[in-house]
Structure formats: C-alpha cells, structure tokens
Structure 1
C-alpha cells in the first residue's frame, strides 16, 4: 500500500511505463492539489491520464486549516471542483495557519506555519476542517507539521491535540513520520537530554490507530544548527525504524514517499516505495479500519 509523490519531471516517464509491460507497482500516486486548480490545460489533462492508471491522492498545501481568518472560499471551491473531477482516493492538508488579517486585507503567508496546541486553536482548526468536509462531502486527513518554533501558550501535547481533532470532526490523520523525527532532532539541539527515537515512539503511541489514514516518509537535511524537512533525499535508517514502529501500531496504512527537491531518477522513488511496501507486508499488525 505504498505510493510516491508524482512531480512534474516524472509525469511523462511514469505514464509511459504505466502503459507497458514494466508497469510500476504502485498503489497510488499523490499530487499537490493546488497545481491542478486551472479550469483546463495540460496539467489537468496529465492528471487525468495518471488517474486512469493509478488511484490519486490529493495533498494540499494551501487550505491553512488552522487560520482564525477561516478557509478561503475561492480555494475551497477550486478544491471541490478538482475532487469532483478526479474522484481521489484521499484528500489531505496540514494542521497549520497561513491566512490572517493585515489592516483591511486578508493575506496568505504562502507557508505552513505552526499553530499552538490549546483549546482555542483546536476550536478554529475543527471548525475549518468541518467546513471543508461539509463542502467536499467526504472526510479529509490532516497532517502534523515539521515546526521550527513553539508557542508558549500550548497546554496539550501535539498527539493529544490531533487526537481530539479527529474525535471531534471525524477527520483522518496523516502521520508524517519524518516530521516527527525532524522536530525531535531540533528539540535535542535545545535540550541534549532528549532521546529523539524514544520521543517519536511515544508520539506514535499516543495517536489512536483507527484515526490514521496515511503515513508520509521523506528525507531531511541536517544543517548543524537546525534540521530542515526538505524532502530532498532518501529516507534514513532512524525514520525507517520509526516506520516499523508505526506499522506495529497502526497496521498496513497507505504510505507515501515524498520527494520534492533535488528530485532523483524515478527508479529511486520506486525503490523507496518498494521498501515501504515490503516492510508493511512483513511487519504490520492487522489492518486497522480508518
């Protein structure tokens, strides 16, 4: 149950190979929703071709679900139109904010900014998630962030916050294992006593298995004074180890290999997806209904 992020440099090659005897063994492909909001054109035509060969998961980066300013109505309508056209396997976005009021304008930061983990922020996030689900007439999955700042007024742990969101709205959770590990590595830079793997296992153990709709795996970059979730390299051994732990907790959850910068040959992505699939087949607990 593994897939890859399908990016522009690999559009043609994947389509060509999908029509031949060496069709890549993928369970799904995932694209960024916002790249296909146009009314027509080449991008949408390519996506329709991909959808003819593989189930498609739509992964958004622009809904800004945690924004007190609310969800942008135009953005939501474009997403709803795309969902109707493509009939995706899943729809997901992030537990972040990006929209806010600046003077008499509403502006978008074009980034995935972290939200505090307290009741007021949960109310905002839950209301926005529910609005999106009502418009799309389906549940969505909400992803945990790699965050480079903390809010001083958070009064609950991230897994508890996300678990409450899932309970209140019925949404799924997209668990990005690499994001959890990146956050733990950055926490250790501030506190040498932090055990990154142990803290990540505790994070995974605190999430209700039935809420997990998808897992993301990716590479990251250690810059010395900060670790960046750049999606620019292979999944490293500690993240694979955490994935094994997640499989034991959650079962055979659909898993995506994310790679967005310094894209490699398509075969490298397929190799990473095949490794995820092998681990899922051999190590996962029985599948958990989501």
Structure 2
C-alpha cells in the first residue's frame, strides 16, 4: 500500500531510472497523459514500472475545456483507457482552450469569464468526468494581460464550476503570484491586495492539489511581465504564498513543476523535500511523514 501523498515531481524521461529507485516517503509523480496515449511502447512500459512503486497523477494539457466545442471523443476515450490502466491518484486539466475548428494551438489560452462560457465549460467538464468515471481537478491559469467582458471573478467562476459539476480544483500557487504581478504591477501593496482578495474568495474547500513552479521576467519587458516558465526553482515569494495557502487548506498533495532547464534529479528532490516538510509541519503528525 502506498503512503499518503505529500509532495511530488513531474516525471521526465531523463530521470526514469533514478525515479524508479526513489523511496522518499509520500513521493508521487505527475505526467502529461498526452505523452502516453498509446497501446504500447517504451514510455508506457516505463510508466507502468513507475506506477508499480509510486502513485502517479495525470495532468492534461489538451482537453481544451474552455473551447466552444466538446472535448474530442477519441482523445477522451484514450485518456479513460490510460486512467483505467494506471489508476492515477489524481487527474487534472487547465481552465483554458487550445483547440479551434480542428486546429490545436501550442498554448493554454484565456477567455472572457461570461455566463455563456460558464455553461460551456461546465458541460465540457461534465462530459469529461462522465467519460472518466471520476472528478477531475481544474487548474487556475496564469494571466499576462487584462481581458475585457468578464462577468465573474476567477474565484467566483471556479466556485460555480464546483457547484455545477462536482469537480475538484488544482490551485497553482505560482500562477496566482504571476497573475498578481502582471495584472497589478510590481508595487507590493497592490500585489498583496490582489493575493488577499484572491485567496479570500477562492473555494479552497475544493482544492485537491497544489502546484509550485518557477518563473522568470520577460526578456523584453523585464519585471513588469513575469512568465510562468517552469524553468527555474520556485521563487521565495511563491514559497511564502504557499505557506499562506497551507494555513487555510491544511496539507494538500503538492507538485513541484519543472519542464525546462532540467537540473539533476537530486536538486529537484531537494525542492520537493522543502514542500514535503511544509506539509508535514502543517499536518503536525510527524509519524505520517517520516
């Protein structure tokens, strides 16, 4: 039987051998299911091997739940097949769109949070959950500019989705911080006000997973525009915000995301250990974390 989930890492092919040998308490691994939607092959064999020793989560990037069309039925069937095979501890997706009239865009794109969008996303989430036979967790996006025509705040939009579909939420702490900086500027009081308002309104009771990641300033605009790059260690302000979130939610499975400029696995495990300890400190039950 696996230990309860504490902190996890994204599974990268470069780290398969070492990941298979890891024995850290509470460790779990996250993968993008799009890389494993096959009937066989070496990647799927490796995923089976990892799953035999550790819990695994599926973090999708292409369901395009905010598009004006239902999720692709073939893709959903493949995803459900993979979920049945590895029995993931968690399944998550982004609140975004990437598919338009048969063309996939290589990005997770924003949309105005209108009532019409709410109905559309809720229907797509319901279709997805019916296909999978379980709830999924929706992730909050990073914002880089102001969009007009919003009828809901982001926390209110998520709260309505939870109420209408029974879905769970994935709160990406780095995304909240990046959005605060990009939408409110670099002045500390304005950023703090955004963070306070966001956390006060967000339906934290529905959060099933947390993400932590690195970011960097835009090459052209510098500190005025932060990019959710996943290519650097988690920044100190994000760690501080993470502690604030844990104080409200209690311990929630937490993933360290790193998708580029990959360091040695030992460095990632050290970051993961910091999140693991924060969760144990929140839990205040040392035997469960040793």
TM over 0.5: yes
1:155 to 151, 155, 160: 151
- Give the structure 2 partner of residue 269 of structure 1: 268
Task: Give the C-alpha shift of residue 284 in structure 1.
Answer: 5.5
SS of match in other structure, 1:195: helix
TM superposition score normalised by structure 2: 0.91
Contact kept in structure 1, 2:158 and 2:203, CA below 8 Å: no
Task: Give the C-alpha shift of residue 192 in structure 1.
Answer: 5.0
Contact kept in structure 2, 1:251 and 1:284, CA below 8 Å: yes
Q: Write the distance in 2 (CA, Å) between the matches of 1:187 and 1:116.
A: 15
Task: Give the C-alpha shift of residue 226 in structure 1.
Answer: 1.7
Task: Give the C-alpha shift of residue 199 in structure 1.
Answer: 1.5
Q: Write the distance in 2 (CA, Å) between the matches of 1:138 and 1:113.
A: 25
Q: Write the distance in 2 (CA, Å) between the matches of 1:270 and 1:199.
A: 31
SS of match in other structure, 2:47: helix
Matched, 1:131 2:130: no
SS of match in other structure, 2:162: helix
The one-character-per-residue Cα deviations of 1:255-289 (angstroms, maximum 9, x if unpaired) are 00000010111111111111111112223699xxx
Task: Give the C-alpha shift of residue 194 in structure 1.
Answer: 5.8
Contact kept in structure 1, 2:145 and 2:182, CA below 8 Å: no
- Give the structure 1 partner of residue 235 of structure 2: 236
Q: Write the distance in 1 (CA, Å) between the matches of 2:197 and 2:214.
A: 21
- Give the structure 1 partner of residue 210 of structure 2: 215
Q: Write the distance in 2 (CA, Å) between the matches of 1:143 and 1:95.
A: 6
Task: Give the C-alpha shift of residue 60 in structure 1.
Answer: 0.4
Is there any run of 5+ residues in structure 1 with no aligned partner, and where?
A: none
Residues 1-290 of structure 1: pairs in structure 2 closer than 5 A: 1-15=6-20, 17-18=21-22, 23-101=23-101, 106-189=102-185, 195-223=190-218, 224=222, 225-283=224-282
Q: Report the number of matched residues.
A: 276
SS of match in other structure, 1:150: coil
SS of match in other structure, 1:68: coil
Contact kept in structure 2, 1:62 and 1:110, CA below 8 Å: no
Q: Write the distance in 1 (CA, Å) between the matches of 2:252 and 2:66.
A: 25
Q: Write the distance in 1 (CA, Å) between the matches of 2:33 and 2:189.
A: 36
Q: Write the distance in 2 (CA, Å) between the matches of 1:285 and 1:70.
A: 44
Contact kept in structure 1, 2:57 and 2:90, CA below 8 Å: yes
Q: Write the distance in 2 (CA, Å) between the matches of 1:265 and 1:24.
A: 16
SS of match in other structure, 2:104: strand
Q: Write the distance in 1 (CA, Å) between the matches of 2:187 and 2:257.
A: 29
Contact kept in structure 2, 1:248 and 1:284, CA below 8 Å: no
Q: Write the distance in 2 (CA, Å) between the matches of 1:241 and 1:170.
A: 30
The one-character-per-residue Cα deviations of 1:54-74 (angstroms, maximum 9, x if unpaired) are 000000001011111221111
SS of match in other structure, 2:9: strand
